[in-house]
Structure 1
Amino acid sequence: MQVTTSGGTSTIKAHGLIFTAAAGAPTESAFVYPTRYTAGAIEVAIRDPRAVAAAAPVLASLATGEGSSLQVRQSGLADRGSAASGTELGLPALRYTYDAADKRFELDTTAPGVAGWPASLDYDPATSAAGKSFTLEGPGGLQVELKLSGTPAANDVITLADNKGGVADNRNAALLGALQTDKLMFGSGGQATATLNNAYAQLVAKVGSKTREVQAGERTQTSLLQQAKASRDAVSGVNLDEEAANLVRFQQSYQAAAKVMGVAQRLFDEMLAIAR
């Protein structure tokens, strides 16, 4: 919460809300509940299932020859670059043909719109058959991810294109569903160690444990406070019964002292009378 005063006007900023009071205005108080109705306001933003982006934005296809075991393990979009969200990527058809002698995929540079994209992708089956990832960056900062595995044959072709129709493609939806089991939280040494469910369970356990700890501490401090009050009252507190008994005792002592003084006065008078 931030409080500022300028020209006799006070401004309070709390949780994105602003309260302003002029000088001399009646004193008022306000309670801010930033998340009180959050759960009740949750609703589905998209009601038409056709509007769900279930398909991946990039489509990779293979044309392989005899004896080839080449596979596309993964393809997708790494960065839209300057392409605005909700618009087409403008990805041209990138056609890479495998050159077995040079052990690399060569880009078909005669295709339209491919200028600025990597001209070749080095791929040696002896070291990359288990899987090799590529990040292809083109004009405007557009980046495409590609992961290959297996042993390609000569003239195998990989084609990357904009997946405009997205027909019979649920890769994006599958990746979304896999979030519940993917390790995304609590990085250790640059590696995530827990799923979202694990992180939520740990958070609930931590809050419960801390709440229990605070409750036990509150009971302990309450007991110590009561003991301190008892010790203080034992030293400086007033016991009404004891004070009443003391008043009676002091009253009787005063009365006894008064009688002694009375007797002494009478003896003194008698002595003066005898002397006369």
Structure 2
Amino acid sequence: MEAVNQGLRRARAGSSNEATLLDERDRLIDRISATLPVEISFDARGAVTLSAAANGDLLISGGTVAGLSTYAGADGRIGFTITPGGALVPSSGTLAGFAQGADHIAGQMEALDALALRFANEINGWNQSGLDANGNPGGALLSGSTASALAALALTANDVAAGDGSASNGNALSLANLRGANGIEAGWAALVSQQAQQAASARAQDTAASTRRDGAFAARDAVSEVDLDREAAELLRFQQAYEAAARTVQVARETMQSILDIF
């Protein structure tokens, strides 16, 4: 973008070079503004100054181009900084989408880890409350406190505490009590349902945003009063006029050559 600014400051007013640079400037502004919200201003030559709408830090101004950095936390959440400047929290655009997506994934991972820990505690607590085949209190069946670390311990069938004080399978029958409206299965179903709802909401928002974008483009084209059909017809007319002029010059050259050949 700054190279375009420098070219605009040197370009002759009204030249084709200036028009090309202005088109390139607008294309780059559209690309940058799709990434993060920006404040835009122009000088007398059309050179642009961009600043972040979130905090006002300059991005491009008078030969200075700021750097944008991304960092990631241990939980996978990401953030952005402007140098020189400070922290950047974009409210919309591609960067905001990345940050929101990372936040959502981190939140879902935390919920999944909490569910895995609860599952391990309940299964281990159930086995430890019973008696194994040797009449001893049962031990833990699972190790780990996160979804990625959860693992079954190496045990034999005799180590499973299926019995209790009343029957050899009394504790096994009580395993069904872990299921229910507030059980692990219900928690997993709720987590999957929440994810599905959020995915559907994101798709709906994308559709609505695309409609607004298309409407904005149509409104901009209406303001510019550029009729593409008319411009195409004019282009065809100029092309035909050029071909006619070129043919006239060719005939004149051939006629002159014929005259010269007489002598």
More strand by share: 1
TM-score by length of 2: 0.28
Q: Which has the higher contact order (CA 8 A, sep 6+)?
A: 1
More helix by share: 2
TM-score by length of 1: 0.27
- When Rg is computed on C-alpha atoms for both structures, the one with the higher figure is 1
